Each structure stands twice: as C-alpha cells, then as structure tokens.
Amino acid sequence: MSDNQQDRAALVGESRLDDKVLDVLGAYHRRMDEERRAPRQEAPGGRDGGQDQRMRAVGPQTGRFLNILVRSLTAPTILELGTSFGYSGIWLAEAARATGGKLITMEVHGYKSAYAQAMAEKAGLAEHIDFRVGDAVAMIRELRGKVDFVLVDLWKDLYLPCLEAFYPKLNAGAIVVADNMIYPATEDVKIYARAIRAKAGISSVLLPVGSGLEVSRYEPE
C-alpha cells in the first residue's frame, strides 16, 4: 500500500477498503466539510419540498461501525431506510460485497437516489445495491422476503411506523441500527427506543457512536 493510500485509509480508520471506495468516501467527506461550513438554509423540521441538498449523513464513525457489524453476517439482506445522497450506503454495500449479501435502500426523493446510484457506480458497488424510490413505510410492507440488517435513518416520526412494518420481516439474528438516538434526541426517537425494546425477541442497547445508535438484535423466543 502506498503512503497516499495509507493516509486515505487512516482517514476512515479502515485499511481493507479498495481505492475506488476510498475515493468515493473521500469525495463525500469533502462535501460534508463544505456543508458544515455553509450556513443552513432549510424549512423548520428539515423538509423543504424536495430541494434538500444536505447529505445529513451518518458520518465516518457510524459508517465504519455499520461496515463492521454487517461484515460479521453471512450473505445478509440489508435494508436501508433513508438513502439520502448515498454515504451510509457505500459502507453498507462494501460490507454486502465482502459477505455475499445485498443492500436494498429506500429514499423518497428520486434526485437523491440518482446521485447515490452514480456514486455507487464510481465506487464499483452499484451491482450490490437495489435503489428504491418512494415512501419507505409503504415499500417495506411490499417487500418480499426477510431481512438480516436494517439501518433506520429517515425522518424521525417515521421510525415507529417503519419499525412496525419491518419487525415481522426480521430473520432470526437480524440486527437493527437506528441513528440520531442521542443527537438530536427528539420525542420520536425516544418512542422508537421504547417500542423496539418492548418487542418480543429483541435485545437492545444505546451506543454513543456518532449521533447515538440504538443497536438491537432479534432472536425469536
């Protein structure tokens, strides 16, 4: 590995990622830095009628943690709720490729999903991702087959309806990760945490990784 590659790998704390993936993660990290510096322009609640250009991405710590978790599974079907511009999907799809799995990612806005798809192609990961555009709650209900991993990272008032929709579709041993459980700690995410902890077969813990992750595992009784 060259010095340049080592530097880039150290940036994301990961030495096994290939060049294409590191390049794409680097481009996302630069965009995140620009976003952090730019003044925020958005309607209250973050919904601006489809003109939203902010990535709202999970960030490198959480991305790497998702990658580690998924790499511990065998050929998992991964469900991502909230594609946005595709950052977390790169970490998930890289782990899907490494384990023989696949990623199904859902996003309500077509322009975000199209950007995510173009980035996944640059990263050499597009063939491992099924991009779906529409309302996640409705699309989860239509999902055929079961899932082994879920990332919950869309508008917070949808966490509970999504949980109700995907819970019957969890395979034994499935892992569910929900983002923004510590920051911003909204009433909606607290409702989600109580609800998933009350489900039969669920073990769950809140971890201070990134913006706070509720990590839950399903094992039927």
Ligand X SMILES: C[S@@+](CC[C@H](N)C(=O)[O-])C[C@H]1O[C@@H](n2cnc3c(N)ncnc32)[C@H](O)[C@@H]1O
Residues that bind ligand X (CB under 6 A): 55-58, 82, 84, 87-88, 106-109, 112, 135-136, 153-155, 158
* 169: its two tokens: 């579709």
Minimum distance of ligand X from residue 9's CB (angstroms): 20
Minimum distance of ligand X from residue 8's CB (angstroms): 19
Residue 148 vs 153, nearer CB to ligand X = 153
Beta strands in 92-168 (DSSP E): 102-107, 129-133, 147-152
Minimum distance of ligand X from residue 219's CB (angstroms): 26
Minimum distance of ligand X from residue 173's CB (angstroms): 23
- Give dist(CA 136, CA 154) in Å, integer: 9
Residue 159 vs 167, nearer CB to ligand X = 159
Nearest to 62 by CA among 189, 186, 177: 177
Whole-number Cα distances in Å, 214 to 79, 189, 193, 207: 16, 9, 7, 6
Nearest to 83 by CA among 112, 103, 60, 58: 112
Residue 53 vs 204, nearer CB to ligand X = 53
Minimum distance of ligand X from residue 66's CB (angstroms): 9
Residue 69 vs 154, nearer CB to ligand X = 154
Residue 155 vs 206, nearer CB to ligand X = 155
Asked whether the CA dihedral 112, 114, 115, 116 is positive or negative, the reply is positive
3-state helix, strand, coil in the chain (%, to 5): 45, 20, 35
